């Protein structure tokens, strides 16, 4: 029964990572590796611990080695962090960053074009 609650906690973290960070994978370990820098160091450490615990939970004797308090703490920290993330805001930030980069390229291109025209005496 205790293993069922731990597995439920791992599944909740997996679903939150999939919906909030848009990171997919068959296991939590794959999701953590794909997330990379999207997770801060402390949260990545907690997620790695949960992923390792999830692999051990399937084995009857090794599952006793998993500390339920540490799993609960890691689950709590990860869920609070992941619930703060707004996927729409992340997408909006990505679009704004891309538009800012495009605008910078256009401005630099315009400046270079004007400089070349002035150097050749056309303007």
For 18-31, write each residue's pLDDT tens digit. Answer: 999 999 999 999 99
- Count, in order, helices (H) and strands (E) of the chain: 5, 0
Please give the average per-residue pLDDT across 63-73, as a whole number. Answer: 90
In whole angstroms, give the CA distance from residue 45 to residue 47.
5
Tokens 């150097």 found at: 119
Candidates 46, 61, 63, 48; CA nearest to 7 is 63
Quick count: other Cβ atoms within 10 Å of Cβ 63? 15
In whole angstroms, give the CA distance from residue 99 to residue 102.
5
Answer yes or no: pTM beyond 0.85: no
Residue 4: its pLDDT value, please? Answer: 83
Token couple for 10: 């791992």
């Amino acid at each position: 029964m205790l293993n069922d609650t731990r597995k439920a906690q791992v599944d909740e973290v997996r679903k939150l990572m999939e919906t909030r960070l848009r990171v997919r994978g068959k296991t939590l370990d794959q999701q953590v590796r794909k997330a990379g820098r999207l997770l801060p160091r402390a949260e990545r450490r907690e997620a790695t611990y949960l992923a390792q615990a999830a692999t051990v939970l399937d084995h009857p004797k090794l599952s006793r080695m998993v500390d339920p308090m540490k799993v609960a703490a890691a689950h709590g920290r990860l869920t609070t962090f992941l619930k703060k993330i707004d996927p729409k805001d992340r997408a909006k930030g990505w679009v704004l960053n891309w538009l800012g980069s495009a605008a910078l390229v256009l401005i630099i291109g315009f400046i270079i074009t004007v400089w070349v025209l002035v150097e050749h005496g056309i303007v």
